[in-house]
Chain A
Amino acid sequence: MGSTFAEKLLARAAGEGVTQAGQIVDAYPNLIMSHAASWRCIRTLEKLGTDKLFDPDRIAMVMDHNSPAYSAKTAGDQKLCREFAASHGIKKFYDVDAGIAHVVLIEEGHVRPGMLLIGTDSHSTIYGALGVAGTGVGFSEVTATWVCGYLWMMVPESIKVVIEGPLSHGVYAKDVMLKLIGELTADGATYCSVEFHGSYVEGLSVSERMTLCNLAMEVGAKFAYVPPDEVTREYLERCGVARDAYEEIFPDSDARYVREVHIDGETLVPQVACPDTVDNVKSIEDVAGTPVNQVFIGSCTNAKYEDLVEAASILRGRHVAPGVRLIVTPASKQVLRRAIDSGVMSVLLDSGALVTNPGCGACAGDGGVMADGEVTLSTANRNFRGRMGSYDSEIYLASPVVAAATAVRGVIADPRDFIALPEGSIA
């Protein structure tokens, strides 16, 4: 019997010939990411009484949450990270200007197929977009791995998700994942590695692959994975990664999966996750008309350049509804620069959007929070109670085009209504 992606990758990361689901191994991550939690790792390291790091080149720090600092405490935490990185030879340090860790590390070419990556962020599954095993851990675990170089890992079972495409107009990777999360539920893939296959995935943009893998966390996945292909290689080249700088890993055709799920992309319609759980998913027609106070286009899920382009395609020549706040937070500085250069940013500003600095922003409740009784439609990945302000506020999750259509109408709206309208008309 063949091996899954996870079994092969953990065999490599643990220096074992083969591994099987259920086995516990000591695995050596190629990259150890910490974001705003970096200061917690540094303080925890002090408790260990050592500052001898296993390999500073395997450590990456990105100041993405709470950036720029909003309090003296946060500023102090960031200062600690800055100074620690400088004094400990951590070259992969990205300051408050860079953007969201996941997107920045991918854009900077630090993430390559075949790697094992751990991060202080649950959405570290996103790295599967490049054929990487990425997973979230707590800050103590990152600290221990800084020093030891390895951590224990159980080789996970794998689930195969086969998505047949193409998707119909107005439907995106976000909708595919919300549909999957609704069907599998929030613990449908707990401890599992989720592999994406099928005609939809073949040739899909890296941006949309990132959305698929990012949201795999919301079914409880340990890893997510899209098989690397020519799209991956070309993308990596643009990020400055040579083709001989990595080794791709593919599952065997006779690998064992605990479950296989099929999604028919062609019949899929836009999906919305309703308060207060990500698996409370409904089709757009069941929630259309729900009034909102705020729309947020941001997060590691859906604030990449391609996401802003899609949102702008609806916002072009239109205006945000009176009394509604549209907040756009580009995922990274590179995304922001591209959006400025291409004119997408002007479209967003002309529509009435408030554009913030790159980073996690409102997704993590850093600015853009809600008052009691308010409602936000967000392109992010979580809608838990109180995540964006008041414990009495509500969050709906959807794609960037649903977000744009909703901002224009002031109520949750079907983007397909807009796509049919002539260019430049006022809705």
Chain B
Amino acid sequence: MIGGICTKFGDGVNTDVIMPGRYLVSIDPVELAEHVFEPLGPEVQARVRNSPVIVAGFNFGCGSAREQAASGLVGAGVVAVVAKSFARTFFRNAINTGLLAITQADASDAAADGVEVFVDLVNAVVVVGDSTYPFPAYPESLIEIIRAGGLIPYVSQKLSDGGVA
């Protein structure tokens, strides 16, 4: 299980708020982390830096296909986002950067700002306080990417094993 204290957001958190376009000149997650949620101000930024989980409403990560929206969160120490729904570009970028993106509406409702939220990928449940919330298990191929730490380490491993197919 991975997780910890969460920061809670509402619906429609977009990529330009997560990672403003002006910082896309970098692909270093640590550098990018400085600017995660910058449009929302230093207080929100400080909270996110101290919470390994983000909980949100509908359509988290809508907007741009910028991968840095996901990798910037990883750089800031976020390990999982639990939301009511995700924009598909963000969902793919999350998997590809080794960030868990879990769709679980009830867990999103149950989690208040600052409470502990954990994700158990093997048993496909989100744990909020004493309650567990099941979610449809990731397909095995996606679990492999997550386990490798993202798409590039995964492909790298495949290449050194002697084949990509």
Which A residues are closer than 8 A to B by beta carbons? 24, 36-37, 40, 43-44, 47-50, 71, 73-74, 77, 119-122, 124, 136-141, 143-144, 147-148, 152, 186-187, 190-191, 220, 222, 277, 364-365, 382, 384-387, 391
Contact = CB atoms under 8 A, between A and B. Distances in A.
Interface of B: 12, 14-17, 20-22, 24-25, 27, 38-39, 58-59, 62-67, 70, 85-89, 92-93, 96-97, 139, 141-142, 150-152, 155-156, 159-160, 164-165
List 8 tightest A-B contacts by C-beta distance, closest first.
A138-B67, A136-B65, A187-B59, A384-B16, A122-B65, A138-B93, A391-B39, A148-B164
Nearest to A50: B159
B65 A138 contact: yes
17 contacts: A36-B24, A48-B152, A73-B25, A122-B64, A136-B65, A138-B65, A152-B141, A152-B142, A187-B87, A190-B88, A220-B62, A364-B21, A365-B22, A382-B16, A386-B20, A387-B21, A391-B38
A47 B156 contact: yes
B164 A147 contact: yes
Contacts of B21: 364-365, 387
Contacts of A139: 27, 67
A15 to B, nearest CB: 12
Given A138-B70, A384-B15, 15 more contacts: A24-B141, A44-B152, A122-B63, A122-B64, A136-B89, A137-B89, A138-B67, A138-B92, A138-B93, A140-B151, A148-B164, A187-B85, A222-B88, A364-B21, A386-B39
Contacts of B66: 138
A120 B65 contact: yes
B12 A186 contact: yes
A350 B129 CA distance: 66
B83 to A, nearest CB: 11
B27 A186 contact: no
A144 B67 contact: no
Contact of B14 (A44, A147, A384): A384
Contacts of B97: 138, 140
B155 A144 contact: yes
Given A277-B12, A391-B39, A137 B65 contact: yes
Contacts of B27: 40, 43-44, 139
Nearest to B84: A187
B99 to A, nearest CB: 11
B17 to A, nearest CB: 6
Nearest to A141: B96
A148 B165 CA distance: 7
B19 to A, nearest CB: 11
B89 A138 contact: yes
Contacts of B155: 48, 144, 147-148
B109 to A, nearest CB: 17
Contacts of B85: 187, 190
A423 B27 CA distance: 52
A187 B62 contact: yes
Contacts of A36: 24
A183 B39 CA distance: 27
A141 B92 contact: yes
B20 to A, nearest CB: 6
A74 B22 CA distance: 12
A343 to B, nearest CB: 35
Contacts of B22: 365
A364 B24 CA distance: 11
A36 B68 CA distance: 14
A80 B53 CA distance: 36
Contacts of A50: 159
Contacts of B86: 190
Nearest to B97: A140
Contacts of A73: 25
Contacts of B142: 152
A190 B16 contact: no
A413 B100 CA distance: 46
Contacts of A382: 16, 63-64
Contacts of B25: 71, 73-74, 77
Contacts of B89: 122, 136-138
A50 B62 CA distance: 33
A186 B65 contact: no
Contacts of A140: 67, 93, 96-97, 150-152
Contacts of B58: 187
Contacts of A47: 152, 156
A220 B151 contact: no
B39 A385 contact: yes
Contacts of A385: 16-17, 39
Contact of A144 (B17, B59, B151): B151
B88 A220 contact: yes
B87 A143 contact: no
Contacts of A40: 27, 67
